[in-house]
Amino acid sequence: MGGYIMQLQNFSVNDGEGIRTIVFMAGCPLRCAWCANPEGQSACNPMTHWMETEEVLKELRRQAIFYRWSGGGVTFSGGEATAQPAFLKELVDALYDEGFSLAIETCGQFDFQELEPTLRKMDLIFMDLKHIDPEKHRAFTGVDNRLILENIIKTAGLGVPMVVRIPAIVGVNCDAAAMEGAFAFLRDNHLDVDLEFLPYHRYGEAKYKELGMDLPSEDFGIPTAEQLDAWTKKAESYGLRVVSYR
Ligand code: SF4
């Protein structure tokens, strides 16, 4: 079989260990108001293309020497990496059997029972926590956070190294209630995870214009280095480990 892909990006160093290929899978169940990859929200559109599973595997195998040399591997991202679960499973099963190091970036909105065998084959899992307040989560992303919070807890229990990522966006979640609520959630559930802040950026705006979509709100802002330092110290005061893969 196969599935819809946005692109395969070789020589990435930001989304896991070593030199990696990022497999940008198309489709996403969320509609984040700040999305940097709006072309990945639907599976089939003029900026995505169908690839057979074997075609993707062939491309990835060609990079194997770089992964081996650098301790890198393959990271599944999106859009939402889990939005085409059967395609993802087929890729992951094959790469795992061939000894590739695997990572995934997910928004957390998935069927845990269906995804669990795939998640267990990962060496590193990145999962987003965009807002701790269910109603604000719904307002900014189109869905509430009930399933995502449940999946953070269940996935952390798999024993696979995991990083919870907070996209830090002024005007969305860079206030004490949102940040400290998220820190308390991670602490109070005794989750053995790292925490990473992903500061907001506007690199995706050209794609909005290309797709004829309205730009993200001007009210969304980029946190300063001082604000991020302050949130890092506050998170550490909750007993959390703050990391950066950027
Ligand atoms: S989860 Fe990611 S890809 Fe999906 S809408 Fe949000 S920012 Fe965009």
What pLDDT does 222 receive?
96
Q: What is the mean pLDDT of residues 201-207?
A: 88
Give the whole-angstrom CA distance, residue 242 versus residue 164.
10
Give the Å distance between the CA of 135 and the centre of ligand 1: 17
Give the Å distance between the CA of 65 and the centre of ligand 1: 31
Give the Å distance between the CA of 146 and the centre of ligand 1: 17
Q: How confident is the model at residue 75 (pLDDT cuts 50, 70, 90)?
A: very high
> Is 230 contained in some domain?
no
Q: Which of 4, 30, 82 has the most ligand 1 atoms within 8 A of CB, as the residue to mutate?
A: 30
Q: How confident is the model at residue 232 (pLDDT cuts 50, 70, 90)?
A: very high
Q: What is the mean pLDDT of residues 90-114?
A: 98
Nearest Cα to Cα of residue 42 among 25, 24, 27, 23: 27
What pLDDT does 64 receive?
96
Q: For 26-49, how does the pLDDT look when each residue is reduced to its tens digit (9 = 90+)?
A: 999 999 999 999 999 999 988 999
Give the Å distance between the CA of 69 and the centre of ligand 1: 32
Residue with CA at minimum distance from ligand 1 atom 3: 79
**Which residue is it, tokens 């060609």?**
62
Residue with CA at minimum distance from ligand 1 atom 6: 32
Residue with CA at minimum distance from ligand 1 atom 8: 35
Return the structure tokens found at 168.
């830090």
What pLDDT does 205 receive?
87
Both ends of the chain: CA-CA distance in Å?
34
pTM of the model: 0.97
> Is 62 contained in some domain?
yes
Q: What is the CATH number of the domain that holds 134?
A: 3.20.20.70
Domain count, the chain: 1
What pLDDT does 15 receive?
81
Domain that holds residue 101: 2-164+202-213
What pLDDT does 14 receive?
82
Nearest Cα to Cα of residue 30 among 128, 165, 103: 128
> Is 36 contained in some domain?
yes
Task: Indicate which atom in ligand 1 lies nearest the CA of residue 31.
Answer: 5
Task: Count other Cβ atoms within 10 Å, centred on residue 233.
Answer: 10
> Is 234 contained in some domain?
no
> Is 187 contained in some domain?
no
> Is 190 contained in some domain?
no
Contacts of 120 (CB under 8 A, 6+ apart): 158, 160
Nearest Cα to Cα of residue 75 among 4, 18, 159, 35: 18
Return the structure tokens found at 169.
């966006």
Q: For 122-174, how does the pLDDT look when each residue is reduced to its tens digit (9 = 90+)?
A: 999 999 999 999 999 999 999 999 999 999 999 999 999 999 999 999 999 99
Q: Which of 39, 107, 127, 169 has the most ligand 1 atoms within 8 A of CB, as the residue to mutate?
A: 107
> Is 188 contained in some domain?
no
What pLDDT does 204 receive?
85
Q: Is the pLDDT of residue 246 over 80?
A: no
Q: How confident is the model at residue 190 (pLDDT cuts 50, 70, 90)?
A: very high
Return the structure tokens found at 225.
């280095």
> Is 74 contained in some domain?
yes
As for ligand 1, residues whose beta carbon falls within 6 Å of it are 28, 30-32, 35, 37, 40-41, 78-80, 107
Residue with CA at minimum distance from ligand 1 atom 7: 35
